[in-house]
Amino acid sequence: MLQNVESIVFRKLTTNDYVNIYRPKQDGDKGGYQKFIDFSSTITRENWRDFFRNYDEKSVTNGPAWDFELKSLGIFQGIQIQRISQRRPTTFNITEQNLSENQTRVFAWTPDLTGFPEPDDPNNITTVPDSLYVYIVRLQNGEHWAGWFQTDQPKEDWYVNTKIKSIFSKNDGYFVFDDGPVAFDVSKQLWPFTKL
């Protein structure tokens, strides 16, 4: 089923992100040890407000938060409720993503469901897989979908326009597809972007 993409947020995972979403709780960890994926201030508060404009904005300790419905590419396990919130002045994050804590990991980013990369030893993570990106799109019908890919340049048979191509040279970001329509095929896990 094809829908038009309206906007996207994306993140190239860092070693810290990767550790946060896999490392089991250690002796000496405080109750709130990190279990999230960060997005930098290149994605502004106003960008997030636009991205989640059909959801109520909540106020949390460090700023706004949104609880939103999320569907996942490649896995039809229903709709999840996820939260993105401001963690500090320079970052927002998607919360509760650590698998060892049985958290609410986004289905699309779960190894057993989609082949998302996982470490050999979650207790000893020293690097993140090269060029591992996670993303969430907002479709023109208001739905949000999550996906991921692992490459530093688009494959030959992938549809890319100028904006999509720019993802591969950035660590994270947000943009609106306002330079021509891009379709999104929810049946394609690996690369759902396509030309109308």
Asked if 88 and 62 count as a contact pair (C-beta separation under 8 A), the reply is: yes
Beta carbons within 10 angstroms of residue 99's beta carbon: 19
| Residue ranges of domains in the chain | 2-194
The architecture that CATH gives domain 2-194 is Beta Barrel (2.40)
Which two tokens mark 133?
A: 């990106």
For the residues 123-150, what does the mean pLDDT come to? 93
pLDDT in tens, 144-176: 999 999 999 999 999 999 999 999 999 999 999
For residues 124 and 47, which has the higher predicted lDDT (pLDDT)?
A: 47
Candidate ranges 35-39, 82-86, 115-119, 142-146; pick with highest mean pLDDT = 142-146
Give residue 33's pLDDT band: very low, low, confident or very high (50, 70, 90). very low
* pTM for the full predicted model: 0.91
**Distances 136 to 6, 39, 84, 101, 108 between C-alpha atoms, Å:** 11, 12, 11, 23, 10
Q: What is the pLDDT of residue 34?
A: 63
Is a pLDDT exceeding 80 seen at residue 36? no
Beta carbons within 10 angstroms of residue 33's beta carbon: 14
Is a pLDDT exceeding 60 seen at residue 24? yes
